[in-house]
Amino acid sequence: MSWFPFWPLLGLLAVAALLPLAANIVAPARTRGRREADLALYHAQMAELERERTAGRLDEAAHRAATLEVQRRLLAAPAETGTASGSRSRWVLVGALIAVPALAIGLYLPAGIPEMPSATFAVRQQAAGRDEEVIGTLRARLAQLPPNSDQARDGWALLANAERSRGNLPAAADAYRRALIGKFDAELTAQLAQVLLEEDRTEEASRLLAAALPQAPRHIGLRFLTGLAEAKAGRNDGARAAWQALIADAPAEAPWRAMVERRMGELP
């Protein structure tokens, strides 16, 4: 690629990327609650996942797992409201609109190589090998720590997230279990239950959730996943009861309420 067509193309991409920011500056300021923002993000992510599946870049299993993760994040979002920024924030946006492309070009000019080809399979394989080496080192260090220590629990939770992001669900589930040794944590338990559901280890997830709920009876994620486990096991009455109870306790402004109602409406 020659430099001449590269820079106009880069400029067009920069303009396209910054158009939403410019539109936000021009539009009049308005109040935007946390619930509205969470729901807007949720719908945008769901639409993107649907496009990825339609284009063939996500299979059904990966699409279900990603959808569940988006829904879990919505469930974990607080329901507080806030006010959109006023004139001060608008000037911040104006500054960002000018500074971001200028800074990007300034950083790129000394060392940028527009002709550089994409990474080869060998390079990507080397990167994967380095990741494996880092994870192996982390495992070795964790094995030397007292299993009940806070440091070990934090390390296993970090490892679980890393393995999950790589799609290694069995290793992620094992790491979450190790993070839970000696100390109950509702959020980590919900993460483990979700991984088990993604692996279709439904009955194991159901047993885990049944033991966890008495310890955190108000935890939204655990209650939602209990209904999901019931639905995946074909126990639709149990799923409906769990989600009805969750909705009954939910404030009207809860950002995840509509999603749970939709899930319940999809039950046979």
What is the predicted pLDDT for the residue at 2? 46
55 vs 26, residue with greater confidence? 55
For the segment 17-53, what is each residue's pLDDT rounded down to a tens digit?
Answer: 666 655 555 555 554 455 555 666 677 777 777 777 7
Q: What is the pTM of this model?
A: 0.61
The Cα–Cα gap between 32 and 251 comes to: 18
Averaged pLDDT, 175-201:
94
With a cut of 80, say whether residue 95 has pLDDT above it: no
The Cα–Cα gap between 136 and 22 comes to: 46
Nearest of 98, 171, 121, 179 to residue 145 by alpha carbon: 179
With a cut of 60, say whether residue 258 has pLDDT above it: yes
With a cut of 80, say whether residue 262 has pLDDT above it: yes
Report whether CATH 2.40.40.20 matches the domain 48-77+184-268.
no
* CB-CB contact of 226 with 255 (8 Å): no
For the segment 66-93, what is each residue's pLDDT rounded down to a tens digit?
Answer: 777 777 776 666 554 444 445 555 565 5
With a cut of 70, say whether residue 4 has pLDDT above it: no
With a cut of 70, say whether residue 143 has pLDDT above it: yes
What is the predicted pLDDT for the residue at 83? 46
What is the predicted pLDDT for the residue at 77? 61
Q: Any alpha helices (H) in 199-235, and if so which ranges?
A: 202-212, 220-232
What is the predicted pLDDT for the residue at 68? 76
7 vs 172, residue with greater confidence? 172
Mean pLDDT score across all residues of the chain: 78
Asked, colleague to colleague, whether 48-77+184-268 and 121-182 share their fold, the answer is yes
The Cα–Cα gap between 21 and 196 comes to: 40
CATH number, domain 121-182 = 1.25.40
With a cut of 80, say whether residue 190 has pLDDT above it: yes
Extents of the domains making up the chain: 48-77+184-268, 121-182
What is the predicted pLDDT for the residue at 208? 98
Cα angle 257, 246, 32 (rounded to 5 degrees) comes to: 25
For the segment 158-167, what is each residue's pLDDT rounded down to a tens digit?
Answer: 999 889 988 8
Nearest of 168, 183, 101, 98 to residue 131 by alpha carbon: 168
What is the predicted pLDDT for the residue at 81? 45
